[in-house]
Chains A and B, each alone.
Chain A
Amino acid sequence: EVQLVESGGGLVQPGGSLRLSCAASAFTFSSYNMNWVRQAPGKGLEWVSYISSSSSTVYYADSVKGRFTISRDNAKNSLYLQMTSLRDEDTAVYYCARGAGIAAPGTSQQDVWGQGTTVTVSS
Chain B
Amino acid sequence: DIQMTQSPSTLSAFVGDRVTITCRASQSISSWLAWYQEKPGKAPKLLIYKASSLESGVPSRFSGSGSGTEFTLTISSLQPDDFATYYCQQYKTYYTFGQGTKLEIK
Residues of A within 8 A of B (CB): 35, 37, 44-47, 50, 59, 61-62, 95, 97, 100, 107-111, 113-116
> Whole-angstrom distance between the alpha carbons of A115 and B39 in the complex?
12
Within 8 A of A (CB), among B39-95: 42-46, 49-50, 55, 87, 89, 91-95
- Enumerate chain A residues within 8 angstroms of B43, measured Cβ to Cβ: 95, 113-116
B95→A107 contact, CB < 8 A: yes
- Enumerate chain B residues within 8 angstroms of A62, measured Cβ to Cβ: 1
Within 8 A of A (CB), among B1-18: 1
With contacts A45-B44, A109-B46, A111-B46 taken as known, whether A35 is within 8 angstroms of B100 at the C-beta atoms is no
B97→A47 contact, CB < 8 A: yes
Is B34 an interface residue, CB under 8 A from the partner? yes
A59→B44 contact, CB < 8 A: no
> Whole-angstrom distance between the alpha carbons of A100 and B32 in the complex?
13
> Whole-angstrom distance between the alpha carbons of A111 and B43 in the complex?
11
> Whole-angstrom distance between the alpha carbons of A95 and B42 in the complex?
11
A46→B44 contact, CB < 8 A: no
Residue of A nearest to B38 (CB): A45
- Enumerate chain B residues within 8 angstroms of A109, measured Cβ to Cβ: 34, 46, 49-50, 89, 91
> Whole-angstrom distance between the alpha carbons of A46 and B94 in the complex?
12
Known contacts A44-B87, A59-B94, A111-B55; 9 further A-B pairs (Cβ under 8 A):
A35-B95, A45-B36, A50-B94, A107-B92, A109-B34, A109-B91, A110-B89, A114-B43, A116-B43
